[in-house]
Amino acid sequence: MCATCGCGHTHEVITLEQKVLAKNDELAASNRAFLEGQEITAINLMSSPGSGKTTLLERTIRELTRTMAVIEGDQETALDADRIRSTGCPVVQINTGAGCHLDAAMLREAIDRLQPARRALLFVENVGNLVCPALFDLGERGRVVVVSVTEGTDKPLKYPYMFAAADLVVVNKVDLLPYVDFDLAACRAYVASVNPKAEVLALSATRGDNLDSWYDWLAAV
């Protein structure tokens, strides 16, 4: 886990991880209660870098009439937050430095700064990483894992904990399928093997393929 150095002190490492996750779960429960009280739907977007999360968010914000807000997580820079801000949507940037994920405490601090409107749809774009974000409950309503066809078919098998935590898997950049070695049917099967309950949507955030299904999922969550 990212909070440890892997130096071999196995018992101490496991104990530390358990304490960190237990504290995070307490804070996540508090976040969830607050968000539910405000009727805010929080969606945790997770992926490896370059999957197209920010592009998907930009298009979603521009095409839906629903009140939205965004919390951006990155190790450094505010580049993605600047892109979201250009749409007119309220956004707050969290920079984690060496940290590879957002946690419940970071989310609550960002919510307090952002002050999203009651009944808003709140997107949390997590740090690009297919490992650590899966471990940390933020208090969100739904978890979405975004992969792109440029990353390879086998991501669900290589990172099973991430895909097991997902409510929805978005396979993005399907407009590039003719140019890459990606088997969509196999990817769906791999997702089902680690998480039979997860829905899989194949779409293109740039060209617009199947975005209606994405919007329908958001409306129902």
Distance CA 137, CA 132 (A): 11
Is 1 domain-assigned? Answer: no
Domain CATH code at residue 25: 3.40.50.300
Q: Is residue 4, in this structure, part of any structural domain at all?
A: no
Residue 2: per-residue pLDDT: 55
How confident is the model over 163-179, as pLDDT tens digits? 999 999 999 999 999 99
> What pLDDT does residue 20 have?
81
Please indicate, yes or no, if residue 3 is contained in any of the structural domains: no
pTM of the model: 0.91
What does the alpha-carbon distance between residue 110 and residue 184 come to, in Å, rounded to a whole number? 36
Beta-carbon count within 10 A of 139 CB: 23
Whether the per-residue pLDDT at 5 is higher than 70: the answer is no
- The answer to whether residue 34 sits within a structural domain is yes
Note the pLDDT tens digit of each residue in 39-88: 999 999 999 999 999 999 999 999 999 999 999 999 998 899 999 999 99
Gap between the Cα atoms of 183 and 97, Å rounded: 35
Using a pLDDT cut of 70, give the percent of the chain over it.
93
What's the rounded mean pLDDT across residues 189-207? 98
Domain count, the chain: 1
Average pLDDT over residues 29-34: 98
Q: Are 113 and 94 within 8 A, CB to CB?
A: no
Confirm if 124 and 79 have CB atoms less than 8 A apart. Answer: no
Domain-embedded: residue 112: yes
**Residue 185: which residues within 8 A CB-CB, separation 6 or more?**
none
The pLDDT-based confidence of 1 (bands split at 50, 70, 90) is: very low
Rounded to 5°, the CA angle 208-212-214 comes to 95
Residue range(s) defining the domain that contains residue 55: 10-220
Q: What is the arithmetic mean of pLDDT over 153-159? A: 97
pLDDT at res. 137: 96
Q: Which of 18-22, 62-66, 69-73, 136-140 has the lowest mean pLDDT?
A: 18-22
**Cα–Cα distance measured from residue 54 to residue 29, given in angstroms and rounded to the nearest whole number:** 27
